[in-house]
Chain A
């Protein structure tokens, strides 16, 4: 199990233990973490699982794919550390990963 820390827009913190091999989006949904909609169920087709990755962790979450970049183009409030949570796969190297959610998913 890998510890993932979700911080809502209002600073509410949700610390969960996630299975390895699932995405950060699935980990949030499986643990009822609010603030992530995931309308497309992880198909990288909607940008409603937008998160800001703590800069200390950003590089360890891997590279954005071309499709993820395209989808972030249409998301709201995108920053350099923006990712789609459905595209970050959890393994032991991400133990302690911290992500923040935007005010709302668009």
Chain B
């Protein structure tokens, strides 16, 4: 770690431990842009693990933060007391499909799209994913700097999404754009100040006009194995309202885009920060599965999921009232030192590396988790045979967002090929 980075981290730690607890504002996007939020979570885990944030911090109003691993598992697996409706982020503006529903409707809609990531489907997709990754990596420049996020992470996840939706391949960056806009904070540079709602609506309108055409085309054709066709032919989904269709599309796009994209970038960044781990992987390729899980833990590409209490409920000695919003901070649980040893370190041979919160637990557990792992596995199999080192030349630029924990750009140089 460079001295600048070490210095910034020490300062963040100092600040996090000196402010009054009530002043801790976890959704301050500046903390995420500067990657200085972790010490605040550490403090809350120790001093107030179920913490109340008064209104005035997040535009959506007051909420609770749950920061310890076991408390998060308890909330996540208790969908009777903690509803996913009306939304799974702290704002209520837009309900992203079945992830923001409760049983029984959640279950039937989720089941309708699950075949898109079934074991058989993944087996069929693997050669295609591999050949695309080989081409993408073979095209990378050697000896000159480039943006890993744009050239690799966005490109590969965009291609994957286009295939899953059978979306026009040449327009795949639209999927990335829509995903970025829907998950962006209203204060993000992607939006004009004071006009974000109109701009957001324009993006949704554009997405809808493209997707409704695809829907009509698929509904009129024989069922196929892409997501749009699956929805259009599913008894549980074929009569969805436009809002619900759009919500489900955005769920599947964000779920397939922000997550894997940022884990792909995070894996390269982590290997740069902990180069001895790359040496370990080069010595023992059998560590790849645990390296993938460790990457997903260490990155935690979705930092939290929100629930809403359906009645008064006790948690960690606090009484959460009916209707209260509860943020389960997966990022914090994944750094809980009582469950995960040396949690800030990236250790690819961790015992029980699969034990992390990034996919969530309970009935809303990530439906695409195996596809995410498969993409990361193939990416690293192909990196390992090509590039002995990927040098990150500057600290990556991060997304100013407390929900998506990710990177907007990361400059790298590949010094040589094998």
Contacts and interface: CB of A to CB of B under 8 A. Distances in A.
A40 B354 CA distance: 8
Contacts of A106: 117, 119, 369-370
A54 interface: no
Interface string B342-367: 00000000001011000101110101
B272 to A, nearest CB: 27
A100 to B, nearest CB: 15
Nearest to B122: A104
Interface of B, secondary structure class, is loop
A38 B353 CA distance: 11
Interface footprint category on A: 20 to 34
Contacts of A47: 365
Interface residues of B, number: 23
Interface stretch (A20-28, A56-64, A69-77, A91-99): A69-77
A44 B365 CA distance: 12
Interface of A, secondary structure class, is loop
Contact of A37 (B73, B110, B354, B363): B354
A39 B334 CA distance: 13
B107 A43 contact: no
A32 interface: no
B118 interface: yes
A16 interface: no
Contact of B362 (A37, A45, A103, A104): A45
Interface in A9-57: 37-41, 43-48
A67 interface: yes
6 contacts: A39-B354, A41-B355, A45-B361, A46-B361, A47-B365, A73-B107
Interface of B: 73, 76-77, 79, 103, 107, 110-111, 114, 117-119, 352, 354-355, 359, 361-363, 365, 367, 369-370
